Every structure is written in C-alpha cells, then in structure tokens.
Structure 1
C-alpha cells in the first residue's frame, strides 16, 4: 500500500497590513478550523470546502495525517508561528518516511525571514524526503508562486474559481495528479506574468478571468493551472504565474505559452469595478433593493483591518433609510454591548482604530441582539464549517435606519449567516453592506445581482499604483496599463 503523508499550512499575507499574524491565531481559528493534528483531521475536514478535505476523500492510498493550520489573512506571519508549524510538519514527515506527500498551502505566505515561505516549506521537506518522493501541493488562486515552487514540487493544482467554491475540488484534482505522478514523472512548464491584477478584477464571475479559467479544460495536457497572484505583498515574486504538466515537454510548454498569450491579450479588460463610497451609496439608493455594497479595500480576507468606517460614514451622511452592515471588527464595542445587555441604549465608538484609514464613528446605539459568535455557515464557500467569532452584537444607530453587526474576531463576510447570527435576514433590507472583496458573491448572488464595490480607504488598496512597493522584480506593471516598477535587488 502506498503511504501518503498529508498536511496543510495556510496564510495569505498582506505585507502592508498594520499588524502581524502570531501563532495564537492559527491555534484559535475563526471562520476556518483551528490547528488540528493527526487522526482528528478525518473528523474536522469531513465535508468542508477545504483542499485537504477533497484530497483525503479522493486519494485511494493510505493516509498519514499530520496537521492542518490556517489563520485569517493579515500582516507578516511571525517567525515563531512559521517555525513551530513548519517544524512540526517536517519532523513528522521525516519520522513517517512516506511514499508520497501532499500539501494544502496558500502560496502567499510571507514572514520576516522568508519572502517565499511556501518555497521554504517545500525546500525543508525535499531535504528530508529526497529527490524521488513525489510532492504535490494545492494552492489558492491568489498565490504568488515563484520559480522555486515549480522546481521543488512535482505537481501543483490551484483553485479555479473566485469566489473560491472549488477548494475541495482542487484537492481532489491534486489527488488525481499525484496518482499520475506515481506512475512516472511529468514534464513541467512554468511562467510568470509581469502584471499585478487588482483583487476585484480577478473574479471569475467576470471577464476576462471567466474565460481564462474556462480555457484550462480545453488544453491538451495532463494538468494546467493559473495563479492570479495576491497584489498587496511587497515581494519579488508577487503576481500571476502559470503551470502545466504533461508527459510531452513540448505540449506542456505550448499550454503555458497559450495561456500567457491569452492573458496578455486580455490585460486591458481587467476592471477593478470600484467607485467612491459616497457615489456608491448614491447609486444604491436609485436601484430597487436589495443592493449589496462591498467594501473590498477593508476586506479581512485580504488582510484588511475589518474596522474601517468609510462605508458606514457614507451611509450616515446620505441618511440611508434602511441598511445593514456586517461584520465590523470591534472587540471593544462588542464587549460593551454584551455588558450592557439586549435592549440597552449606549454611547459607543465604532471602528476607526487605525487613523491612516478612518476615524471612529461616535454614535448612540440600541443593543438589539447578542450572540457568542458560534454558528454554522451555510453558503457555498464556507458551508459546513463552524464559526468561532467571539462576542457578536447587533447595534441599531439611534434615529437612523442603519444597523451594524460588530464582532470580536476579524473575518470577511462571505456568508449570510454573519447577519443571521444576530437575527438579520439580509434579503429583507434595502442595502446590504459586507466587509468582503469578492467571496461574498457566492452566497449573496442568491439574494440579488445588484452588486456595487465601494472605494474607501483600507489595507487592501485596489488601485495598485498607490501601494508603496519597494521590492518587486523589475518590469512588473501595477495594474492593467499601469506604471512599471520593481528593482533588480
């Protein structure tokens, strides 16, 4: 029986975010499971939309489960966290001496010590298993994948949907690719694209990403994939990359070249779809409800602080008669609401903890509903997972039609349950505001197709020319038709 060691270590690092990601965030979980080890992975991963779940359900070989750890996107992963989790994986693999290895990684993890953290994980694992043990890894669509990743891994699969509804499917494809590699090696082809694509322009609900990903199934190779890249990462290998595998090296190279040419031809059609928050609210008021307004530049799922108040202030300024917003990350406000109790009227400061992005909104609020933040997701992306978001409170701004949901752990709103946890049914409201970039669409398109993207300051700027990059490789364009930047060092 072939023995396959499996492990996962996921983080999407925004190097511009104003806070680090410590080990404690991997241990406690939130929207995704907390750090899980050994045989407990069978129960924890069962039925979840996570690559490791799809791999374990598909792979016919004997599993040797090690661990899975993930944390909400944020700033640099602290070296202690990286060394603790990576060290545990490497030690377990060395002791297990498996016949093959599967890794559920993100591809955009950055630490102070390692720009290319996933390559460092692969480097250490390759050192203990040797050159002949096949290693297959799956990665996020937003991965920044270097040439070293291509060299160190025998096979790579990537998510093909954004919103990410195919995580488990990507793990299943990795299982099939590993089976093929166990029959013999495949030729690799790899290329980088010298263009940073804004996060909101990467959505596969829109062109050109929809067609770029659709073409993958038409390529006559064993496997091919596209990484769109994660722009708010000031590292040399930031940006899109392309992969193909086939027994015939010429066919693999031709597939990558075809994707690259199609990508280049589509550059001018990538659209970030942003409009200023005030104008966005104005337009929402002219449309039949419900209308969803996303706040992508403060998306916790891309390292945003999750507590900026630009969109909330626009709602207040426009005297919107009916709007709900979720989830504003504000542990202090949530704790104060819980201390006061349901029905209480309290003076409170909402959000605005980072003055470089926004100021607190001072308000009198009515505490309408409280929750411990433990609930089950039901949407297409998170569905089946259990959230642990700490104290959550539903606050009605007195004298307005605006209700804000505050929570105690950063998490993007990609699921309607982040309203329902405090008794709000999103479809019953005229304007629905979500702290999310694109993932919310998977669930909220069930409510409405009237979706707007507000431009309000946050840690995930979608106008990439505004980011203070200093370490990009030479020749990278900051957005479609944008300036060329980078350096040689």
Structure 2
C-alpha cells in the first residue's frame, strides 16, 4: 500500500488558563515538536514510544510505502489557538492533497483537542481531510486512551484504535495495531460495521490506572472480546475529564465485518464498564496530610514514598509550578525529599547566574491562576545545573531526547527541587537524575504527574499516594463549574448528573 501519515496531538484542558500556540507545537512538550517530510521519520524512530513510530515500523516491515507528511504535538494546556490550529490543519490538508493518489491515510491523533473555534478538534480535522480525499479513501486513526470521541470522528474515519494502558506504555503498540487494522480493512474491501456506546459517568484520572482494578480488568476484557468475537478491533476510551464540551466522557466502540459482530463485541464491554462505576475511587490527601502519611511510612521503613501532585500535572494542562506540596515538605522539615519538575525559567536563569554552590533568593513558581497557590519566597542553594538535554530510558517516553532548557536543582533544608525552563510531565527517573537527584535513594518524591510516573517509578516506590494540592486539573470533576456537558452525564462515579448542576452555556470566546 501507499499510505500518507500525519500526526497532530493535543490534550486540551478547557479549564486551564494557558493556550497552545505556534511555539508550543514547535517545542512538543516532551514529545517531538513540529516536523515535516524526512524529519518525521527521524522523530518517529523505533526507540520512541509513539503510535506513529509503531505504525511506521509495522508498515515498512510489511513492504508498504509510507509518505511522512507532518507530525506535531504540544504539552497539554488550555485551548489551541485558532490561528495555530488552522495553520497546522491547513498544512496537513495541503500536503495530503499534493500527495494523492494514495491507498490510505493514517492519522496519529490524541482525540481530546479543543481549539478556540472548534470544540471537536479531531472531528473538524477529519472533515477537512474528507473534503480533499472524498468519502471512499480509507482513513485509519490511532487515539489516546483519554480521547473524548465524537460521533463525527466515528462517522468520518474508517476505523479508530485507542491505547489500552495508562500509563501509556503501549503507544507504539497501538500504532502497530492501527496498521494491522488498516490491512484488514483493505482486505475486507468495504467499510466495517460500527457499534458505539457512551458511558454515563466521568472518571477522575487518578483512578484510571490500568495497572489496578477496575481499569485493569476492563481493558483485559477488551482483548478477550476481540478474541472471542473475531471483531477487527475493540476500543475503550476513559475520556479526558477536563473538557467542557458535549462529547466529553468515556466511550466504547467496536468494528465488525457485520453489524452483529460489532454489537457482540461492543455490548458486553459497555455493560461491564457501566457496572464498574463505583470502583473508580480511592483516597486523596491534602498537602499536609500527604506529607504526614509519607513520613509515617518512612518511619516504618517504606522508602521512597512517591506523592502524586496530580492536580498540577502538566500532562493534563497543569502549570507545573504550584507550590502546595513543596511548601508542605519544607514546613515539616522533611529530609531526603525531592520534587519536580517545576516550570520556572526565571528561577533556572537565576540559578545559572549564581553557579553551583551559590545561593539565590527567589519567589519560586506559583504564577498560575490555581486557587490557593502562591510563589514560594525563600533562599535556595544551587546544587546542580544543566542545559536540559538528556535521554529518557523509562517505558513511557522510551529512548527520547528531552530538551527542557536551562535547568537547576535547588535545595532548601532537606528538600531538593528540580526546576526546568520547559514543561514536561515527570514520568521518567532520568528527569531527576539529570540534575543529580538519585530517585532510588530518596525518602519522599513529589511527582507533578497523575498516573504516567508510575510506569518508571512504581518499580522503585515503597508506596504511592495521591495528593490534591492546588492545580488546574481537579481530581473531583464537581470542583469545576461546567456549562456544556450532556444532561445525563454523571460528574463523578455515583455523583450528580450535569442537568442537576449546570449553569448557562459558555464557549472558548467567553473563557
């Protein structure tokens, strides 16, 4: 086959204050930034854990010709700027038009992109592509597990396949599945039958780990249903619960060579996810309670205790600079603790000016609009400096070159803070080691992440607990004010429906 490949990835937190502009997509935020043509092949190399990389590897192994058009991503944030969305989407469409004819199009998308003028970012992109390709050219899409899947996305694509792990250690594997699905679609000779069901409740991301029940068992069922029914593909997206849009929420879907086959795979999965509603819950700790619990575990010999600073997770639109947990560590005079990554370019610049061993008096972090947060004003010792370029090694990022700009390890008392000039979710041990912090010997580690850190930190963690410090990614959906959800969608497992809580509609232009 001759296949056209493009990728456009963003997870949009419509409650976050930041915006994804040209600069954000140029950098990539821990993922490859904007690239075209041969640059895409270099970015999607076999060492990285990305769906596009897995697809490219599988396609070339099968002898297919893949024309790599464009790939880009930005760190999760608030809305994608209209001009940026239109520029990138326009270039994808222009490159597809210039590369036709082809046998198929493969798109590496997230599924939860919201632009200032387009609440269904992926559906809008697919519609624009269809205007160029026509209705018959097969389009296969890979999606993040947190996609908010719309009916328009389902209608305009031939098939979509989603990650099955959170932490997302199967991104490349999902790309390989997308290629296998395309191969089966071509052999079938016509579009698959489709079955789709929307799940009636939202799930906080901190309880979505597929390493634990109930998500672990539900995703095992996805594979079982594929095997038992022979369905070409079955997917379950838990949704990104920080998007105030009508298609927000979990979805299950399946493809079949017949409508009966698709339904036979989709219906039991829908029933199982609905039945598991009340299992998506667990304990959440305030900053002080989290530190006290960690110290209690340390006293019992449990080390390191990893505290998830889940509400300031830059992987879900957080600012990665709130100080709630760091202030709690210092207030409790914790020894052998580290926290990261804190996004503060000015602090990193000041540390480089002072040099290793120097002291800097700073108002660190605390610049986001997160309620209850403020900068941490103190004098810090500069323990280590870096240009921010290093290789990741863990299962989430894979073997990727990080470029986090000027970086520094700042120490106050027994607490060390990893500070960077670019946002990236702390999901790899090397993101501490590049600043001289050895995670395996720490007593307490504060990770600005909700789940992805578990992929590389769970093997070394004595215990993991989740905190609700200030941040822009609430672990309780009822802590936000919503305007645009489906009336019957429950805001939390067992919680009220949107109809019971809603306020008048608001759009991106009002934000």
TM-score of the superposed pair, with normalisation by structure 2: 0.93
| Aligned ranges 1:132-147 → 2 under 5 Å | 132-147=136-151
| Match in the other structure for 2:202 | 196
The answer to whether the 8 Å contact 2:303/2:462 transfers is no
2:180 and 2:494 map into 1 onto residues whose CA distance is 38
Structure 2 partner of 1:463: 476
Alpha-carbon distance, 1:197 to partner? 0.6
Cα deviation, 1:344-403, whole Å, max 9, x if unaligned, reads 012111111125431111111110110010111011011211111111100111xx2111
Cα distance in 1 for partners of 2:331, 2:43 equals 45
Correspondence for 2:509: none
Deviations 1:232-253 (A, max 9, x none): 1100000111110111211211
Alignment partner for residue 371 of structure 1, among 378, 381, 386? 386
Q: Does 1:300 align with 2:296?
A: no
- The residue matched to 1:195 in structure 2 has which SS? coil
1:334 is aligned, of 344, 348, 371, to 348
- Give 2:90's match in structure 1, choosing from 72, 87, 90: 87
Q: What is the match of residue 126 of structure 1?
A: 130
CA distance in 2 between counterparts of 1:470 and 1:272 reads 27
**Counterpart position of 2:75:** 72
Is the 1:156–1:243 contact (alpha carbons within 8 Å) kept by the matching residues of 2? no
The residue that corresponds to 2:53 in the other structure is 53
Misfit runs of 4+, over 6 Å: none
Q: Provide the C-alpha distance between the structure 2 equivalents of 1:458 and 1:448, rounded to a whole number of angstroms.
A: 24
* Aligned partner of residue 379 in structure 2, secondary structure: strand
Distance across 2 between alignment mates of 1:280 and 1:91: 51
Secondary structure of the structure 2 residue equivalent to 1:251: helix
Q: Number of matched residues?
A: 486
Matches within 5 A, 1:471-486: 471-486=484-499
Among candidates 155, 163, 169, match of residue 165 of structure 1: 169
Distance 1:90 1:212 in 2: 37
Q: Which residue of 1 aligns with 2:192?
A: 186
Task: Determine if the alignment matches structure 1 residue 270 to structure 2 residue 280.
Answer: yes
Aligned pairs (5 A) from 1:346-365: 346-357=360-371, 358-365=373-380
Q: 1: CA distance between counterparts of 2:266 and 2:434?
A: 45
Corresponding position of 1:445: 458
- Aligned counterpart, 2:266: 256
| 2:109 is aligned with 1:105 | yes
Structure 2: segments with no counterpart, 5+ residues? 506-511
| 1:243-294, Cα deviation, whole Å (9 max, x unpaired) | 1011121121122111111011100000154221211111111112111111
Change (3 A) 1:356 1:43: closer
Is contact 1:72–1:300 with CA below 8 Å preserved after alignment?
yes
1:206 counterpart = 2:212: yes
Secondary structure at the counterpart of residue 274 of structure 1: coil
Structure 1's unaligned 5+ residue stretches are: none
Give the distance between the partners of 1:66 and 1:449, measured in 2 at CA.
45
* Aligned-partner Cα distance in 2 for 1:148–1:355: 34
CA RMSD of aligned residues (A): 1.2
Aligned to 1:417: 430
The structural deviation recorded for 1:449 is 4.2
